[in-house]
Structure 1
């Protein structure tokens, strides 16, 4: 098959200025990890998010940030985490590794994210934390969800891996929770050479632990030393939180990636705006095909990290559409985010039961179109024309 429009694993192309930043760090950085570019990226990211200085921490990927957030929850036996069933597996398993049990929450059928109502249905006396995933780039109703979590005394964590730059109620995705995470994976609107992540921690007491937890327990000595090399170049300690030991990790990101991330913050809003404008063009051009249901949002609340739709005429029609688009038009659409309760991994752990009819309905009829930022106008127009032709042929 001659693929004319591929579902690429790479979201953006870098500008010459961005490439120059990478080359400069490669040539001139005094250290290639844990240096000035890491601190600069963290500082600029906090400013971009509108959160307190010193509350954002670079990690080697989004999962590392999730692992740290799970560690800071300090789960006890029997603790539960409310988690959308319709998300990527990395949103969930770090919390299981730290001792929590997943309780699956349904999503809204149109927005494809959880709501305060679907979360409340999943809360039990054992609930310790709630994870809200801003899937596809759309921010959930965080004002209502934050109020619910505050009322119930629950830790609120935002998985904003796909939603950098999206805004609701005047605040950025990832600025509502007690903690939040971001991903700079190859698929994301901001990507630091394929991998990268960020953790936001609201509580200064918890935030103070993150550098040591992130970097092998390394820290400074708490006294003045006459010789900088004695008793060692630096200390390694066991971080403690309320008398409880916290085991360290190595979740560091290199200086090259950090410098690139800081530079990309200068154009992430324009990337989001351009993707949103193109998504709306695609959606509006298919308005006379109601069998393909999109989530149309003409505001910064959606950054259109992905362009997904639901085939309202059912699973068989969805499968015929994808098959025809690929075999006859060379356009590779995909299906994403099987409800996690269906995976063998979660079933083997006794977490294979869910009451999430909207998640099931959406996944079983969803289509994700190629939507990398660097898609050419010719490819975009061809995909749109092909979509119209295939939909018409299936009527």
Structure 2
């Protein structure tokens, strides 16, 4: 089906200045990975996110893989993860040997809460994954207080919440690890893929460059001949005496160059998206069958614009929007426990009624920074007309 307004796979356009930065890096970067643009991006990101240690990676899943690796799970250890999220929030922890325990979401905010997490904690719980889904920041002060009482590690999946503020601090700066995404769909994109890992503990942060880049490190001591015994050393990163296998999760120099440049307008793009989201929500306020989450401050960046469709009308709403108006709405974040992957791993059971109810009735409207105002007006008009048609049908 061809859509007049598709659900875009690209979050934003690049300015001519940003394109010029890409071209400059493509011409001048030596090498094309692990160079000065990487250092510049990480430095800029640390200042932007308010974190002490940040490492650019090829994508956010790689960041989650390293975070899971650094949790150093033992047999029987559990990690609490929302059932309503993207699969990459979960499977890296299963790969590293953790038992996945699904947490429900709050029906109003669509993210996990300290109360919901507390209900999942057992003596075997080792870590909590908090996902700031749809661009809304979860209550991190309460969650961190809970984690401290129980001695738990906290991983913030901030893939959709770059720049979001919670009590004056950036999302991703509260937990022991903060994970950020620069995928094509996200708030800013480093040419389709990219990620960042923030690490709180300096001792843990010290080994991330080796984990990221094949165990590469310097030979100890001074060398008279730089090529003896070899140009570079390779070793096993160690944490508290425990060796960890390295990975290859590097991000290229051109991507790092554009990432550093995009950070300069990230807050402006978030503010523009939030303003437009609020205009849509307010324009559709006369249609309570579409229940949005309205937040008019920096705690929400409206990475996505989602609503719960009432009366069991979700599928009829999407069908009418697509077939009558040419607008592609989508449904996102199938509860992970329903997927064959997690059922086959033994994680097919969950007591998450709010997550189930929201997924079964949710719709995500076309909404990205590059969507023109006149296109957005068409979406709003079509949504209203669709609800009116469904009311008439009964």
CA RMSD, aligned part only? 0.6
Matching residue within 341, 348, 352 for 1:345 = 341
| Aligned counterpart, 1:15 | 15
Matching residue within 114, 123, 129 for 1:116 = 114
CA distance in 1, matches of 2:311, 2:282: 19
Residues 269-284 of structure 1: matches in 2 within 5 Å?
269-284=267-282
Matching residue within 284, 287, 305 for 1:286 = 284
Deviations 1:335-393 (Å, cap 9, x if unpaired)?
00011000000001110000000000000000000111110112111111111111111
Identify unmatched segments of 5+ residues in structure 1.
none
Matching residue within 379, 383, 390 for 2:379 = 383
CA distance in 2, matches of 1:162, 1:266: 18
| Alpha carbons 1:62, 1:182 under 8 Å: kept | yes
| Aligned counterpart, 1:228 | 226
CA distance in 1, matches of 2:30, 2:87: 37
SS in structure 1 of the partner of residue 264 of structure 2: coil
| Aligned counterpart, 1:28 | 28
Deviations 1:69-105 (Å, cap 9, x if unpaired)?
0000000000000000000000000000000010000
Are positions 1:51 and 2:51 aligned together?
A: yes
Are positions 1:257 and 2:255 aligned together?
A: yes
| Aligned counterpart, 2:196 | 198
SS in structure 1 of the partner of residue 324 of structure 2: helix
CA distance in 1, matches of 2:62, 2:345: 22
| Aligned counterpart, 1:319 | 315
CA distance in 2, matches of 1:58, 1:50: 15
| Aligned counterpart, 1:85 | 83
Matching residue within 166, 169, 173 for 1:168 = 166
CA distance in 1, matches of 2:292, 2:221: 60
SS in structure 1 of the partner of residue 119 of structure 2: helix
CA distance in 2, matches of 1:378, 1:391: 20
Deviations 1:109-146 (Å, cap 9, x if unpaired)?
01000000000001111000000000000000000000
| Alpha carbons 1:41, 1:261 under 8 Å: kept | yes
| Alpha carbons 1:149, 1:156 under 8 Å: kept | yes
Following superposition, the deviation at residue 29 of structure 1 comes to: 1.2
| Alpha carbons 1:10, 1:186 under 8 Å: kept | yes
Are positions 1:141 and 2:171 aligned together?
A: no
| Alpha carbons 1:273, 1:303 under 8 Å: kept | yes
CA distance in 1, matches of 2:284, 2:237: 55
Following superposition, the deviation at residue 312 of structure 1 comes to: 2.1
| Aligned counterpart, 2:361 | 365
| Alpha carbons 1:239, 1:245 under 8 Å: kept | yes
CA distance in 1, matches of 2:74, 2:96: 9
* TM-score normalised according to structure 2 size: 0.99
Identify unmatched segments of 5+ residues in structure 2.
none
SS in structure 2 of the partner of residue 103 of structure 1: strand
CA distance in 1, matches of 2:12, 2:166: 24
CA distance in 1, matches of 2:208, 2:357: 40
Are positions 1:335 and 2:331 aligned together?
A: yes
CA distance in 1, matches of 2:128, 2:220: 36
* TM-score normalised according to structure 1 size: 0.98
CA distance in 1, matches of 2:85, 2:222: 49
Following superposition, the deviation at residue 2 of structure 1 comes to: 4.2
Runs of 4 or more consecutive aligned structure 1 residues displaced over 3 Å after TM superposition: none
| Aligned counterpart, 2:205 | 207
| Alpha carbons 1:4, 1:379 under 8 Å: kept | no
